A and B are shown apart, each in its own frame.
Chain A
């Protein structure tokens, strides 16, 4: 495959492991034309407002990975205080808490965990966070509604 020769060994190893031993509820596979660009699926965690939803994400390993964090974005609409309307994710390990010791797998597990534990005190989507703080029951209801509307299996 084109580009394979230049792909750093670390990325090759991570990719092999992601494919051979996927984490529960998570799948990630590189696209054929760009081995640094992954199609990701995450199942909404049980006992979260996203349960029953299937979320599509995209992940890209920039040139300076693993010195720089992967770039990740939701492609499926989701009602969550730490995910904005463009699917951008507010997660410390994607920003200042990134360490080269982390991997694609750890990033995806952290995103899955973020779905179980929304953090309205560190919001990216201000309106959603406000809703969450003022009326959590109602906000969770909206999140469930969005799961039903936008995150159903094809």
Chain B
């Protein structure tokens, strides 16, 4: 695999992700951006997920905070829901638990902020999450 020898350093990887996020991703069901446009370290990000149809999450807009430490992307980012949500991999304070969310628990350098959001959205539609009772729409952790 070509990527095996050329490693894109953290900052340039995040700049690429920032540019991709600014252009908009796919059908717009997930999106993300940086919190402060002068944060040289590019640590704090906000993502949104539009709940998948045919689930209890249908049409809800979920906001999340994503923290990319200096070790990103070698290590997984920390992900926390701001919007209240009831999911098997989300703790009672909104934190996405890496032990219950495979992508974060078995992180791979090729994963991106987009992958995190897309996989979380898929998780919402999984059999254990699609019908879970949800807190009122729009409430925050």
Taking Cβ atoms with an 8 Å cutoff, the residues of A that contact B are 3, 6, 34, 36-37, 58, 60, 62-63, 71, 73, 75, 77, 85-88
* 4 A-B pairs with the lowest CB-CB distances in the bound complex, closest first: A85-B38, A63-B6, A6-B5, A37-B9
A-B contact pairs, 18 of them (CB 8 A): A6-B5, A34-B9, A36-B7, A37-B9, A58-B11, A60-B12, A62-B6, A62-B8, A63-B2, A63-B6, A71-B12, A73-B15, A75-B40, A77-B40, A86-B18, A86-B39, A86-B42, A88-B15
Q: Are A86 and B37 in contact (CB under 8 A)?
A: yes
Partner of A73, one of B2, B8, B11: B11
Instruction: Report Cα–Cα, A63/B9, bound state, in Å.
Output: 12
Cβ distance B49 to chain A, nearest Cβ, rounded Å: 25
Instruction: Report Cα–Cα, A45/B119, bound state, in Å.
Output: 49
Chain A's closest residue to B3 (CB) is A63
Chain A's closest residue to B13 (CB) is A60
Chain A's closest residue to B36 (CB) is A85
Taking Cβ atoms with an 8 Å cutoff, the residues of B that contact A are 2-3, 5-9, 11-12, 15, 18, 37-40, 42
Instruction: Report Cα–Cα, A71/B5, bound state, in Å.
Output: 18
A-chain residues with CB within 8 Å of residue B42 when the two chains form the complex: 86
Instruction: Report Cα–Cα, A34/B42, bound state, in Å.
Output: 20
Cβ distance A142 to chain B, nearest Cβ, rounded Å: 15
A-chain residues with CB within 8 Å of residue B37 when the two chains form the complex: 85-86
Q: Are A86 and B9 in contact (CB under 8 A)?
A: no
Cβ distance B7 to chain A, nearest Cβ, rounded Å: 6
Chain B's closest residue to A65 (CB) is B6
Partner of B38, one of A6, A37, A63, A86: A86
A-chain residues with CB within 8 Å of residue B6 when the two chains form the complex: 36, 62-63
Chain B's closest residue to A2 (CB) is B5
The listed residue with most B CB atoms (<10 A of its CB), out of A6, A60, A86, is A86
Cβ distance A147 to chain B, nearest Cβ, rounded Å: 17
Q: Are A86 and B15 in contact (CB under 8 A)?
A: yes
B-chain residues with CB within 8 Å of residue A88 when the two chains form the complex: 15
Q: Are B5 and A73 in contact (CB under 8 A)?
A: no
Q: Are A60 and B38 in contact (CB under 8 A)?
A: no
B-chain residues with CB within 8 Å of residue A63 when the two chains form the complex: 2-3, 6
Chain B's closest residue to A85 (CB) is B38
Chain B's closest residue to A31 (CB) is B9
Instruction: Report Cα–Cα, A56/B88, bound state, in Å.
Output: 45
Q: Are B8 and A60 in contact (CB under 8 A)?
A: yes
Chain A's closest residue to B14 (CB) is A86
17 new A-B contacts, CB < 8 A, other than A58-B11, A62-B6, A73-B11, are A3-B5, A36-B6, A36-B7, A58-B9, A58-B12, A60-B8, A62-B8, A63-B2, A71-B12, A73-B12, A73-B15, A77-B40, A86-B18, A86-B37, A86-B38, A86-B39, A87-B40
